[in-house]
């Protein structure tokens, strides 16, 4: 081994270099604090470790229980924790029926279709009650579904999606929504894994100005599930425009049914909500990508619903009279927790938008916000960067006022945070940066908005009743304020935690607990830290800065660089709108960094911009991180939930096959980036080099987003 390799090998994985600058605090305005659901710092004592697990009674008491529980937390079979044992409740009842007495004519959902000339649809709680009951009757009597059965939904952002979810919940049927942007093949794999007998889909939907044929994916999904040995008995097909069939593929006699036609037999039917044990699964949410067996995160009824209701109330500051818009897709966990279940449990109005953020122009979100009177706005850094890139001055032209804004999904660069705060939030809105993941059901890190000041780029302290720890590779605690990063874990169970990986309990234990549990026979939750899979650093004030997935690290000559801080450095260059760092295998230094950047509109790619990017990295991080190449590209390959697919550009940079790109929102950009990069690399005399199987695996899975 060379010296450098030895150094690299001796460095532990969690020792990610940390070069972030500490940012100044920003405090919420008095107007916000005055109306907030939680403004007394004493709430942190109520949720302190001394009061665990009973503190979570406060969340559970936000719900109506058919039968109150006798045991708050049962730890007898670690790490399969049971919350609110003995309790019974129905999620659909809690999200709908119990609001009817006081809010029957209040909007539960307001749906904005993508074509602007289409009518905005308002669904009151009364109407939601009617439609969910009818759908529940259809699922029970036409499809023969019983409590505990699974149903796969492959639905886009139309009101029929939450209606189906709530209809399943009413019956105790477990829903498994697969993000509509996923391919038929991906959907088929998830159908098979969950053992669903019914698939609910739609003929078509609008996205970015195009009407997409969606039913075609259902045929593919059913075929793939069949190959895996699982047969779908019924495919229920909604029609984007009832009465008109807008797909090119035929309906299959005896298998495919138009919901609007079958529904005629179920008009005005009512279905009593089935009281479900708190521990009954409410839904599955599949996490991993197109390779390997899919991983279905199983979420519970009582614990999950309590947790999303409580966190929606305190961290998103949702009051029933708010108009709340979470600009995410219900096909991922954010939408389940914070478009559907949390907001509806609190009886508020939740806005749904069908389409692409900047369609037909980047003023669209602000027109929706102004017209509907949105006062809480929730989105992801990728959307914020896109709107900043395409329409930096648009928010100022619209008369809306947000009291709170949320960012979620990846670390937000301080530059982008400041634009969000000053321009989108008009300097008035308080921001919560909520850190969590599919597995956790709800927020794990966030400032409590009226109690803790904001700090750009940091999510803040842990959420109420959550006690994290950062461990290094050897399981030693990394102290706050040490400036060192490590693997962030949660020491305790919380009600929103996933119950297991559907059908693979050993994988659940292996993935999340094997790393730091030293005594698998222990029945004490303190011996079972939950591995989140993110690198993090904790400042002396207790605020966490999330560096991204542990796998998103580039090791240059033994120096472990977090991709996010490289990208944040590059975003200080005024021309740059988006940046993504990837590793390139290098004979000498192990890995070197290549940087992909997209510029703000109207800015020209030039040698000068490339040099500025390199200089920004050198000054913010150091020479060691200086990128080998800077590729200025028209757009980044992204998943439909907006995350940059680093593995795709990493494959291009290493001259290897880009793998499956069917789940991309914009697969077309891949070929043009490939051509550009290959051509320039050839001109620079860089030749392909054969990668070892291990290197190939690292590159092909880099960034772990699928």
Shortest separation between residue 473's beta carbon and ligand WT7, angstroms:
19
User: Please, which residue, 202 or 431, has the CB nearer to ligand WT7?
Assistant: 431
Residue 116 C-alpha from the chain's centroid: 27
Shortest separation between residue 565's beta carbon and ligand WT7, angstroms:
12
User: Please, which residue, 289 or 347, has the CB nearer to ligand WT7?
Assistant: 289
User: Please, which residue, 69 or 332, has the CB nearer to ligand WT7?
Assistant: 332
Shortest separation between residue 394's beta carbon and ligand WT7, angstroms:
24
User: Please, which residue, 400 or 512, has the CB nearer to ligand WT7?
Assistant: 512
Shortest separation between residue 208's beta carbon and ligand WT7, angstroms:
22
User: Please, which residue, 549 or 612, has the CB nearer to ligand WT7?
Assistant: 549
What is the residue-wise DSSP string for 172-233?
TPEEEE--TTS-HHHHHHHHHHHT-SEEEEESEEEETTEEEE-HHHHHHHHHHHHHTT----
Shortest separation between residue 437's beta carbon and ligand WT7, angstroms:
3
Shortest separation between residue 666's beta carbon and ligand WT7, angstroms:
19
Shortest separation between residue 350's beta carbon and ligand WT7, angstroms:
17
Shortest separation between residue 209's beta carbon and ligand WT7, angstroms:
26
Instruction: Spell out the SS3 assignment of 641-705.
Output: CCCECHHHHHHHHCCCCCCCCCCECCCHHHHHHHHHHHHHHHHCCCCCCCCCHHHHHHHHCCCCC
State the greatest distance between any 2 C-alpha atoms of the chain, in Å, as a whole number. 76
For residues 68, 330, 332 and 643, what is the CA-based torsion angle, rounded to 10 degrees? -150
User: Please, which residue, 196 or 434, has the CB nearer to ligand WT7?
Assistant: 434
User: Please, which residue, 160 or 329, has the CB nearer to ligand WT7?
Assistant: 329
User: Please, which residue, 281 or 441, has the CB nearer to ligand WT7?
Assistant: 441
Give every CB contact of residue 410 below 8 A, 6+ residues apart in sequence: 380, 381, 382, 548, 564, 643
CA 104/CA 111 separation, integer angstroms: 18
User: Please, which residue, 488 or 673, has the CB nearer to ligand WT7?
Assistant: 488
Radius of gyration of the chain (CA): 25
CA 109/CA 216 separation, integer angstroms: 28
CA 645/CA 103 separation, integer angstroms: 43
The residue count of the chain comes to: 706
User: Please, which residue, 333 or 630, has the CB nearer to ligand WT7?
Assistant: 333
CA 176/CA 199 separation, integer angstroms: 10
Shortest separation between residue 530's beta carbon and ligand WT7, angstroms:
12
Instruction: Spell out the SS3 assignment of 117-157.
Output: CCCCEEEEHHHHHHHHHHHHHHHHHHCCCCCCCEEEECCCC
CA 10/CA 423 separation, integer angstroms: 46
What is the residue-wise DSSP string for 491-526?
-S--TTS--EETT-HHHHHHHHTTTT-S-TT---GG
Shortest separation between residue 214's beta carbon and ligand WT7, angstroms:
22
CA 482/CA 620 separation, integer angstroms: 19
User: Please, which residue, 305 or 459, has the CB nearer to ligand WT7?
Assistant: 459
CA 57/CA 292 separation, integer angstroms: 39
Report the SS3 class of residue 28. Answer: coil
Structure-token pair, residue 616? 């920004």
CB of 357 within 8 A of CB of 330? Answer: no
Shortest separation between residue 336's beta carbon and ligand WT7, angstroms:
10
User: Please, which residue, 257 or 543, has the CB nearer to ligand WT7?
Assistant: 543
User: Please, which residue, 391 or 409, has the CB nearer to ligand WT7?
Assistant: 409
CA 334/CA 409 separation, integer angstroms: 9
Report the SS3 class of residue 364. Answer: helix
Structure-token pair, residue 324? 């709340």
Shortest separation between residue 343's beta carbon and ligand WT7, angstroms:
15
> Contact positions toward ligand WT7, by CB under 6 A?
287, 332-334, 408-411, 433-438, 459, 533-534, 546, 548-549
Shortest separation between residue 428's beta carbon and ligand WT7, angstroms:
21
CA 129/CA 131 separation, integer angstroms: 6
CA 699/CA 706 separation, integer angstroms: 14
């Amino acid at each position: 081994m060379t010296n450098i390799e030895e150094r690299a090998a001796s460095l532990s994985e969690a020792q990610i270099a940390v070069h972030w600058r500490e940012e100044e605090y920003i405090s919420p305005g008095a107007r916000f604090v005055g109306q907030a659901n939680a403004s007394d710092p004493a709430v942190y004592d109520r949720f302190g470790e001394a009061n665990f697990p009973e503190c979570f009674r406060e969340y559970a008491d936000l719900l109506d229980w058919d039968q109150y529980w006798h045991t708050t937390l049962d730890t007898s079979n670690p790490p399969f924790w049971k919350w609110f044992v003995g309790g019974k409740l129905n999620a659909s009842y809690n999200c709908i029926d119990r609001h009817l007495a006081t809010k029957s004519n209040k909007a539960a959902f307001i749906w904005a279709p993508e074509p602007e000339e289409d009518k905005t649809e308002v669904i009151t709680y009364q109407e939601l009650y009617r439609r969910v009951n009818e759908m529940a009757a259809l699922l029970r009597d036409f499809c023969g579904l019983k409590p505990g059965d699974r149903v796969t939904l492959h639905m886009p952002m139309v009101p029929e999606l939450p209606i189906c979810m709530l209809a399943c919940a009413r019956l105790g049927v477990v829903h498994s929504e697969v993000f509509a942007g996923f391919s038929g093949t991906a959907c088929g794999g998830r159908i098979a894994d969950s053992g669903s007998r019914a698939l609910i889909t739609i003929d078509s939907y609008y996205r970015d100005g195009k009407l997409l044929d969606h039913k075609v994916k259902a045929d593919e999904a059913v075929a793939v599930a069949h190959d895996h040995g699982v047969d779908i008995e019924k495919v229920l097909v909604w029609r984007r425009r009832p009465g008109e069939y807008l797909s090119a593929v035929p309906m299959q006699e005896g298998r495919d049914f138009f919901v609007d036609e079958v529904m005629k037999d179920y008009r005005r039917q009512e279905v009593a909500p089935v009281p479900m044990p708190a521990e009954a699964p409410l839904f599955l949410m599949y996490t991993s990508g197109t390779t390997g067996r899919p991983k279905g995160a199983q979420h519970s009824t009582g614990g999950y619903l309590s947790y999303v209701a409580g966190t929606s109330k305190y961290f998103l500051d949702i009051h029933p009279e708010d108009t709340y818009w979470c600009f995410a897709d219900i096909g991922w966990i954010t939408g389940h927790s914070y478009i559907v279940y949390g907001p509806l449990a609190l009886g508020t109005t939740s806005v749904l938008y069908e389409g692409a953020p900047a369609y037909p122009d980047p003023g669209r979100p602000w027109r929706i916000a102004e017209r509907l009177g949105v006062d809480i706005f929730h989105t992801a850094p990728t959307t914020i960067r896109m709107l900043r890139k395409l329409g930096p001055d648009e928010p100022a032209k619209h008369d809306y006022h947000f009291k709170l804004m949320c960012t979620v999904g990846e670390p937000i660069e301080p530059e982008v945070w400041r634009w969000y705060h000053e321009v989108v939030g008009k300097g008035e809105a308080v921001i919560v940066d909520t850190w969590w993941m599919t597995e956790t059901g709800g927020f794990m890190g966030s400032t409590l908005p009226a109690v803790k000041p904001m700090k750009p780029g940091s999510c803040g302290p842990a959420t109420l009743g959550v006690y994290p720890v950062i461990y290094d590779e050897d399981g030693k605690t990394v102290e706050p304020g040490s400036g060192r990063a490590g693997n962030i874990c949660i020491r305790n169970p919380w009600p929103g935690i996933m119950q297991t990986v559907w059908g693979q309990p050993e994988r659940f234990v292996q993935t999340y607990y094997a790393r730091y549990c030293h005594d698998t026979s222990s029945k004490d939750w303190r011996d079972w830290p939950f591995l989140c899979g993110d690198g993090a650093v904790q400042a002396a004030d207790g605020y966490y800065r999330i560096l991204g997935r542990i796998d998103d690290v580039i090791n240059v000559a033994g120096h472990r660089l977090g991709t996010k801080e490289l990208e944040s450095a590059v975003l200080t260059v005024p021309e740059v709108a988006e940046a993504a760092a990837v590793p390139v295998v290098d004979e000498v230094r192990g890995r070197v960094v290549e940087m992909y950047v997209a510029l703000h509109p109207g800015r020209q790619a030039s040698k000068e911009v490339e040099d500025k990017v390199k200089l920004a990295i050198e000054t913010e991080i150091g020479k060691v991180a200086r990128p080998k190449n800077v590729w200025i590209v028209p757009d980044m390959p992204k998943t439909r939930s907006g995350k940059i697919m680093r593995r795709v550009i990493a494959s291009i940079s290493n001259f290897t096959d880009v793998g499956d790109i069917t789940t991309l929102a914009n697969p077309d950009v891949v070929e043009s980036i490939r051509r550009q990069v290959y051509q320039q690399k050839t001109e620079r005399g860089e030749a392909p080099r054969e990668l070892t199987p291990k290197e190939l695996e690292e590159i092909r899975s880099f960034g772990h987003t699928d």
